[in-house]
Amino acid sequence: MGLNVLVAGGAGYVGAHVCKALARAGHHPVVLDSLAHGHREAVRWGPLVEADIADRAAVGRAIGSHRIDAVMHFAAWIFVGESMTSPLKYFANNLGGSLALLDAAMAAGVRRVVFSSTAAVYGEPRQVPIPESHPTEPINPYGESKLMVERVLRWLDRQQGLRFAALRYFNASGADPDAEIGERHDPETHLVPLAILAALGKAPALNIFGDDYDTPDGTAIRDYIHVADLAGAHVAALEHLAAGGASLTLNLGGGSGTSVREIVDAVARVGGRPVPASFAPRRPGDPPRLVADIAAARAALAWSPRHSDIDTIVRTAWAWHTRG
């Protein structure tokens, strides 16, 4: 029998893909989203409750009327740069909103939460690949706000029997292999869509920040995980918690590094046209290399990435951006 899952932020990029995976696995997603950044048309696998997570009463009503068993929490502001200039905006939504959501869930007796955390909780990496035991020293309010929620979840586990999965994503990328949904942020700050939009002439030439890193081609290396692999891990984490499993804090990445230049080359190859690009100075706080150690997720969830090779990521993203 499927679970009724409140998907906060489910009209956004990652949440929408997780809703599709939930429905495929026999569960029942109920999206709660303010549509501040989400897309109504991305909500296809269950009802939409248009509300803010900070609206405790609305969240409580949604949980009660849909007989919710578990919460998946994607709702947040996500722009690292903006978090540096407007920190309170980030703490208010990402932490304050989460507290209201968790309060409503606890009051309604919901004790299972899957939370979207981020590699930004680690800050400057001291070792690569990065294991979950790496010190957590965020260097921006975005990462700090996510770490604060992780800490709240840990206290709720200890004191009140909540069981959670905090999933620390590296770079989510790619699109639904059926091209029903894809990545659409406004503003877009992620490399794969920016490179595709530049190649299609729908965005300015791509800025490549730094070509003088100590990496094989001089550009920064990141860990890209296909959003379908992320979605699979979320379903596995939910089912682990529903079966009575202990709380988890796990990295989710593809487990290997790809340079900016390799992504740009892959977009040009898949799209069959050049990607207009120019080099810009490194951005402060952008380390040369960020790669996830994903051994813990593999072991705890019996999961491994299946779509996270760069060609599949770029091919599915390109197909979605150029769909009819």
Ligand X SMILES: NC(=O)c1ccc[n+]([C@@H]2O[C@H](COP(=O)([O-])OP(=O)(O)OC[C@H]3O[C@@H](n4cnc5c(N)ncnc54)[C@H](O)[C@@H]3O)[C@@H](O)[C@H]2O)c1
The site for ligand X (CB under 6 A) is made up of 9, 11-15, 33-38, 52-54, 74-76, 78, 93, 97, 116, 118, 169, 171-172, 185
Tell which residue, 174, 32, 10, 146, has the closest CA to residue 80.
146
**Non-local CB neighbours of 18 within 8 Å, separated by 6+ positions:** 7, 10, 29, 72, 74, 230, 231, 234, 235
Q: Closest-CB residue for ligand X?
A: 12
**Backbone CA torsion sign across 118, 121, 123, 126:** negative
Burial of 201 (0-12, 13-18, 19+ CB in 10 A): exposed
What is the closest distance, in whole angstroms, from the C-beta atom of residue 256 to ligand X in the complex? 16
Minimum distance, C-beta of residue 217 to ligand X, in the bound complex (Å): 22
Q: 168 vs 214, which CB is nearer to ligand X?
A: 168
Q: What is the closest distance, in whole angstroms, from the C-beta atom of residue 245 to ligand X in the complex?
A: 22
Instruction: Work out how close the CB of 50 gets to ligand X at its nearest, in angstroms, rounded to a whole number.
Output: 9
CA distance 124 to 110: 35
Nearest distance from residue 106's CB to ligand X, in Å?
A: 18
Annotated catalytic, 213? no
For the chain, the straight-line distance linking the first and the last C-alpha, in angstroms and rounded, comes to 37
Our CB check for ligand X shows the closer of 75 and 264 to be: 75
Q: Which residues pair with 252 in a beta bridge?
A: 169
Give backbone dihedrals phi and psi of 28, rounded to 5 degrees, phi first.
-125, 95
Tokens of 209: 């920040």
State the alpha helices, DSSP H only, in the chain.
13-24, 56-65, 80-85, 87-90, 98-107, 141-160, 191-199, 227-242, 260-271, 295-301, 310-321
Which residue, 226 or 240, has its beta carbon nearer to ligand X? 226
Residue-wise burial string across 242-263, b where 16 or more C-beta atoms lie within 10 A, e elsewhere: eeeeebbbbbbbbbbbbbbbbb
CB-nearer residue toward ligand X: 42 or 277: 42
Pick from 302, 175, 172, 295: nearest CA to 237: 302
159 vs 197, which CB is nearer to ligand X? 197
In the complex, the smallest distance separating the C-beta of residue 273 from ligand X, rounded to whole angstroms, is 25
From CA 40, how far away is CA 151, in angstroms rounded? 32
**Cβ distance 171 to 222 under 8 Å?**
yes
Catalytic residue among 142, 169, 213, 224: 142
Which residue's CB is nearer to ligand X, number 85 or number 216?
A: 85
Residues annotated as catalytic (active site), given as ranges: 142
